[in-house]
Amino acid sequence: MVPDEYKPWPLIRMLQSDERIPPHLKDPANWPEPMRQEWGQDEGISSHKKHRARVFNAFRQIRKEIDAFNPDFVLIWGDDQYENFQEDIIPPFCVLAYEKMEFQPYKRLRGRPNIWGEPADKVFTSPGHHAAGRYLTRGLLEEGVDMAYAYKPLHEDGLGHAFANTLLYLDLDRQGFPYPVPPVAVNCYGSRFSDESDPPSPSPRRCFEVGQATARVLKNSPWRVAVLASSSWSHAFLTEKNNWIYPGPGVGPGAAGAPQGWGVPQVAGRAPEPA
């Protein structure tokens, strides 16, 4: 979201501040060869530019497919990282059945510029879909899923960056994104929420079950629906087995990221299927 020269990837910050990383692994000479190649002679800037180009091309393709499908709304799954949900309540899942969403994503940039050259205090407004959120929640409850729901934000904008950033990139060329969005938040912290032994996140099995139930509910709805999942593929700083400096198998390479062969899933060319 920030210009390349600001090195937006977290690796540099982690190398400087994370005491969990062994001292010898803070020296790039001791990294895996593919990681050293991505780091190169400019601390990953060249690799990041190539990675950004791939990501932006994929978002433009996804946007093209959404426009061709012309849904009544776009349901987005995403995680909440101590944004809307904090110590007062941490639901495993929550349908955000807002009428509209207003958010200021550039506040998280801490004074750095954004790639669009837009004001740091710019407020974005996106239509929610209150009726669809209510319909989905009712249908999931009838399916046996004890789904939480909310009609207004709890903290800050009430919209985690998993959703806000997705909306920014789906309107990459600033032509507007007119589709209503009912977000569905997932607890991604689980037992990592605090220094204590906290309850876990929803299991992969339960996530699949909730996804399947969502598809059944929306299939019987009166709307054409595109369903998207917001995610990140390079959270190296959560990967203990690799000393918190590169992610595990099955993720895509970011700037100074995963060793070669850990490819990015091919999702860009698929048209969103009606749920």
Residues 76, 190 share a domain: yes
Q: In 29-147, where does DSSP find H-type helix?
A: 33-39, 45-69, 130-142
pLDDT of residue 23: 93
Please count the structural domains in the chain: 2
Residues 158, 246 share a domain: no
pLDDT of residue 262: 30
Residues 250, 143 share a domain: no
For 172-182, b/e burial (b = at least 16 CB within 10 A) is: beeeebebbbb
Q: Does 57 fall in a domain? A: no
Residues 206, 92 share a domain: yes
Residue 202, domain extent: 72-223
Residues 4, 26 share a domain: yes
Cβ atoms 2, 168 nearer than 8 A: no
Residues 197, 83 share a domain: yes
What is the chain's pLDDT, residue by residue, as a tens digit (275 residues)? Answer: 888 877 767 788 888 888 999 999 999 999 999 999 999 999 888 988 998 999 999 999 999 999 999 999 999 999 988 889 988 999 999 999 999 999 999 998 989 999 999 999 999 999 999 999 999 999 999 999 999 999 999 997 878 899 999 999 999 999 999 999 999 999 987 777 667 778 888 999 999 999 999 999 999 999 999 999 987 656 777 788 888 888 776 444 443 443 333 333 322 223 333 33
How are beta strands 183-187 and 93-96 bridged, if at all?
antiparallel
Q: What crossing angle do the helices spanning 45-69 and 161-170 adopt, rounded to 10°?
A: 80
pLDDT of residue 7: 72
Residues 8, 124 share a domain: no
Identify the CATH number of the domain in which residue 162 sits: 3.40.830.10
For 8-18, b/e burial (b = at least 16 CB within 10 A) is: bbebeebbeee
Residues 185, 111 share a domain: yes
pLDDT of residue 232: 63
Residues 99, 204 share a domain: yes
In the structure encoding, which two tokens stand for residue 187, read together? Answer: 């607890």
With CA atoms as reference, report the closest residue to 230 among 190, 180, 191, 184.
184
Residues 270, 172 share a domain: no
Residues 91, 26 share a domain: no
Residues 242, 215 share a domain: no
